Amino acid sequence: MYEYDIDDEQAHAAPIWPVFADLMAGLAGVFVLVLVWVLGMQVDLAKSLEDEIARRQAAEARRQALEQALADPLASGRITLRDGRIGISGSVLFALNSAELQPEGRQLLKTLVAPLQVYLGERDELLMVSGFTDDLPIQKTNIRFADNWELSAQRALTVTRALVEEGMPADSVFAAAFGAQHPVASNADAAGRLQNRRVEMAPVPRTSEKRGG
């Protein structure tokens, strides 16, 4: 009886070690999977960081190149450069509620053509000319434009045509209209509205999808 009890206990205790070994092997496998996942995450994060650094370096290089190309008009305060967009006050280019280019505005555009043409040519880019207005409705006495969308569109087209007339290749520039959208200042006062009445020019990548219609 005594020997039977010992053998019986040994018979029941014997499978514990294989089960324990299987459990440890399973835990080791899980650990390896977690380690591989963590390493993969680290590689992805490192790659994302490298891509972001490269993107910022490229953006900074473009900004510096654009600043260098437009050094003279920037120094004189006739234009602004913010986030790669060249800004020109609407009052320099146009009278209030008008899309007729003023002599001062045309002369300014003329000085921008040569440096912009070099900049665009070196990077095979296009120049997007965007028109913006403040949020005040078009005056009822002005029957030429139905709303700010039409006014901003015509101003962008006027500037685009002037650039082409002054030597910018027609296939390197196009117009866009934003009306009162995307203000850079509050429209609550005259000073803010003056800033929002503007034309911006921004170099953009040349893509195969941009075709004439």
pLDDT of residue 116: 93
Per-residue pLDDT reduced to its tens digit, 159-209: 999 999 999 999 999 999 999 999 999 999 999 999 999 999 999 998 754
Contact in structure between 198 and 134 (CB atoms under 8 Å): no
Is the alpha carbon torsion for 181, 108, 169, 122 positive or negative?
Answer: negative
CB atoms within 10 A of CB 89: 16
Domain contains 211:
no
Bridge-based pairing state of the strands 125-132 and 80-82? unpaired
| Residue found by looking up tokens 């209209």 in the block | 177
Total domain count for the chain?
2
Per-residue pLDDT reduced to its tens digit, 101-155: 999 999 999 999 999 999 999 889 999 999 999 999 887 776 788 899 999 999 9
pTM: 0.70
Tell whether 44 and 80 lie within a shared domain. Answer: no
| Residue found by looking up tokens 């505005």 in the block | 105
Q: How far is CA 69 from CA 12, 113, 127, in A?
A: 87, 11, 14
Contact in structure between 133 and 152 (CB atoms under 8 Å): yes
Contact in structure between 86 and 159 (CB atoms under 8 Å): no
Alpha carbon distance 77, 205 (integer Å): 27
Retrieve residue 202's tokens. Answer: 């921004």
pLDDT of residue 1: 46
pLDDT of residue 15: 62
Per-residue pLDDT reduced to its tens digit, 44-86: 777 777 777 766 766 677 778 788 878 888 888 889 988 889 9
Tell whether 29 and 74 lie within a shared domain. Answer: no
Domain contains 181:
yes
pLDDT of residue 211: 44
Which of the two residues, 45 and 5, has the higher pLDDT score? 45
Domain contains 65:
no
Q: How far is CA 189 from CA 63, 92, 98, 194, in A?
A: 31, 19, 20, 9
pLDDT of residue 213: 46
pLDDT of residue 78: 84
Tell whether 43 and 132 lie within a shared domain. Answer: no
Domain contains 123:
yes
Domain contains 61:
no
Retrieve residue 144's tokens. Answer: 């030429």
Show the beta-strand stretches assigned E in 32-124.
Answer: 80-82, 85-89
Per-residue DSSP letter, 94: B
Q: How far is CA 121 from CA 37, 115, 173, in A?
A: 45, 10, 12
Per-residue pLDDT reduced to its tens digit, 16-44: 666 667 677 777 777 778 888 888 888 77
Residue 167 domain boundaries: 70-205
Contact in structure between 79 and 86 (CB atoms under 8 Å): yes
